[in-house]
Amino acid sequence: MLTLLSMFYYICLRRRSRSGTRGEALTSRRAVESGQRAVLPVSVEVEQYAKEVLDFSSHYGSENSMSYTMWNLAGVPNVYPSSGDFTQTAVFRTYGTWWEQCASAPPPFRRTPKGFYSQDYIELGFEEPVYPTAVEVFETYYPGAIVQILACSHNPFTQNPPTDVRWEVLWSGKPTKVLTPQARQFSPKIKHISFPTNLLRLEVNSSLLDYYTELDAVILRGVKERPMLALYKMPIIDISDLSDSEEELSDVGGPFRQGGDSKHQRTGNGYFDKLPYELIQLILSHLTLPDLCRLAQSCKLLHQHCCDPLQYTQLSLQPYWARLSDASLGHLQSRCTLLQRLNLSWTGNRGALTLTGFSSFMKACGLSLVCLEMSCCHFLNEACLEVISQTCPGLQELNLSSCDRLHPQAFTHISKLTRLRRLVLYRTKIEQTAILSILTFCIELRHLNLGSCVRIEDYDVVASMLAARCRSLCSLDLWRCRNLTDRGLTELVSGCRMLEELDLGWCPTLQSSTGCFQHLARSLPRLRKLFLTANRTVCDSDIEELAASCPSLQHLDILGTRLVSAASLKKLLQSCPQLVLLDVSFCSQIDMRVVQELSGLVPNVAIKKSFTQ
C-alpha cells in the first residue's frame, strides 16, 4: 500500500513540476508547511426559526388541536429554557421499546443497515435559503433522540415543481440516553454543503429514552452567499487530469500493471466457485442492499448469486428513501419476482416515485407479496391503491400510516384485499363508508390501527361491525377517536374476546360511571396492553377489576386520572406479575413519594411519572 501511495505522489509531483511555475510551487509549498488557509469575505450570518412544519411521521397530539403536536415546532420557543412535560411542545407518538414488544408490531426487515437508526422524522421549512453554518434544536424533555439532520436542495415555498431534489446529511449519530431529562440546546457540528437550503429534516430514535422526548424550536443559521474557503493543507490533484505518457509510467509500478508472470495468473474464481450454491447464498444474505448490488458487478459468478430472487424475498427500501426513484425500482424489478415483504415507507416524495414506476414494479413483483409497508408515502393516490388491490391478491399486512394526502375515496380499494390480517391507517383521511366496507370483506383482520382517524363519524357503528365481523381481532388502536361511547365499547369487547391490545387513549366520551371499563376487564382475560390515557373518570374499582380479571397485563397507561389511589395500584402490581409499564403521569393522587414506594415493591416495573418546572 505504501509503495502505491509513493508511486502516485511521484506522478503528482512530476505533473505539477511540468505545469506550474517556480513561484507557484514555492507558494504552494509554504502553504502546505504552514497549514494556512486563504479566507475570502463571507456574508453576514442569518438566524431564523422554522416558518412552517411541512411533514412528519407521527405525533402524540390530535389533528384538531395544538397540544403535543409537531406544529409547535414552528416559530420561536414556547417553553425553553424550562424543562418538563408541556403541551406546547412537539412530541412523537412512541418512546422506548414497549411498542416493539407488542403482538401488533411487525418483525424487523432483514438487511436493514446497522447505521440506520431513524424511527420518526419531521421536515421544517424556513423563510430564506442559506448555506448552513449551524442547526440548533431546543429539547425540553428527555433529550437525545435526534440521530440525523438533513438538508434539501428544493425550496418548499416555490411554485415550481421539484426537479433534481438532493438531500445531504448535515449530521448523524447514534441514539443516546442523556443522563438527565432536563432541557438543553442541541447544536452538533454540521457538514458544509454545496447548495443553499431552507428545508431541514430531523430524524429521531427514541428507543433508549425513558419517556417521550419533547422538542420546542429549531434554529437554522447560515449565510446567503456560498463561503469560499481555499484550503491548502494538501495539494488536490484530479486523477483524471494525469496525462503522463506510457514512458513515464513505465518507470514505476511495472509489476502491478503487468500482473506478474502470466503462467501464474488465474483465469477462474479460485476456490470460491467450488463452494455449494446454498452456502454462497447464505454468505450473501448478510450483505446490505447496496453492497449486494456492488458485488454483482465484480464477476459473472457473483452476479448470478446476487441477482437470485431468493436474495430478495424481503426488501426494505426505507433506509434509502432520499435516493430511491423510478429507475431504482426498475433496476430491482427483475430480481424481486419472489418478493414477500416490501418496505417503501418514507419513499417517493416530491416526485421521486410516480404512478408509472410504482405500477410497473407492483405488476412484476406483487404476486407473492404478503407484507407492504408504505408509511408516509405521499406519492400514493387512488390509482396506486387500485394497483395494489389488483396485483397483490395474497397481501396480509398493509401499513398506510400518515399517508394523510390520500383522498378518502381511495381507501375503498382496500376492501378487495380479503386476506388482510394487519391494517394500519393511523392519521389517514379514511371515512366511515370505506372502513365499514373494509370490515365487511376483510374478516381475517387480527390487528387494526385507526388512531387519529378524525373523519370517521360514528365509532360506535365501527365497533359494532368489528364485533360482528372480526371476532379474532387481537389488537385495536382507537387513539384519539372522539365519539366512541360506552355502548360501542361494550359491544366491541363482547364480540372481540381475543383482544390482547386495546388503545383507548384520549377518548373523552367514555365514562367509568357506566361500568364500561369493568365490563372490559371481565370480557378480555387475555388483555396485555390497555391505554386509558387522559380519561379523567378511571377510578379504583376499574383498576381493581383489571387486577382480578387480567393477570397477563403488561402495559397500562392511566395518565391524567384523578380518582385512582395508591392502594388500588398496589393490588394491581401484586396481581399482574407480567406488568412492565405503568404510566401514572398527572394522576393527582399519585405523587413522587408514592411512585418511589411502588417502585421499591416492584423494581421490574417501569412506573412513569412526568414533571413540569
- Topology given in CATH for the domain delimited by 458-612: 3.80.10
Q: Over range 557-571, report the average pLDDT.
A: 97
pLDDT, residue 219, reads 98
CB 110 within 8 A of CB 61: no
- Could you tell me the pLDDT band of residue 229, with boundaries at 50, 70 and 90? low
Distance CA 507, CA 492 (A): 15
Distance CA 357, CA 62 (A): 34
* 348/31: higher pLDDT: 348
Q: Show the cell assigned to 576.
A: 399482574
pLDDT, residue 160, reads 83
Q: Over range 207-222, report the average pLDDT.
A: 97
CATH 2.60.120.260 fits 45-223, yes or no: yes
Q: Over range 491-499, report the average pLDDT.
A: 98
Distance CA 475, CA 121 (A): 25
Q: Which are the contacts of 420, defined by CB distance < 8 A and separation ≥ 6?
A: 395, 396, 397, 398, 414, 438, 442, 444, 445
Position 159 pLDDT exceeds 90 = no
Q: Show the cell assigned to 347.
A: 419513499
Q: Over range 446-450, report the average pLDDT.
A: 98
Phi, psi angle pair for 90, to nearest 5°: -95, 125
Q: Which are the contacts of 5, defined by CB distance < 8 A and separation ≥ 6?
A: none
Distance CA 56, CA 218 (A): 15
Q: Strands 229-231 and 146-152: what pairing?
A: unpaired
Written as one string, the DSSP assignment of 356-392 is HHHHHHHHHH-TT--EEE-TT-TT--HHHHHHHHHH-
Distance CA 89, CA 68 (A): 5
pLDDT in tens, 89-99: 999 999 999 88
pLDDT in tens, 172-184: 999 999 989 999 9
Position 523 pLDDT exceeds 50 = yes
| % of the chain surpassing 90 pLDDT | 81
pLDDT, residue 235, reads 43
Q: Over range 289-306, report the average pLDDT.
A: 91
Q: What is the pTM of this model?
A: 0.87
Give all strands (DSSP E) within 290-349, no chain letters.
314-316, 341-343
Decide whether 312-451 matches 458-612 in CATH topology.
yes
| % of the chain surpassing 70 pLDDT | 86
pLDDT, residue 273, reads 75
Position 467 pLDDT exceeds 90 = yes
- To the nearest 10 degrees (0 to 180), the angle between helices 432-441 and 459-469 is 10
Position 116 pLDDT exceeds 50 = yes
CB atoms within 10 A of CB 532: 27
Distance CA 335, CA 82 (A): 53
pLDDT-wise least confident of 24-28, 117-121, 128-132, 166-170:
24-28
Buried b (16+ CB within 10 A) or exposed e, 234-265: eeeeeeeeeeeeeeeeeebbeeeeeeeeeeee
Distance CA 37, CA 34 (A): 9
- Could you tell me the pLDDT band of residue 228, with boundaries at 50, 70 and 90? low
pLDDT-wise least confident of 68-82, 227-241, 398-412:
227-241
Domain ranges of the chain: 45-223, 312-451, 458-612
What superfamily does domain 312-451 belong to in CATH?
A: Ribonuclease Inhibitor (3.80.10.10)
Position 72 pLDDT exceeds 60 = yes
Cα angle 579, 585, 591; round to 5: 100
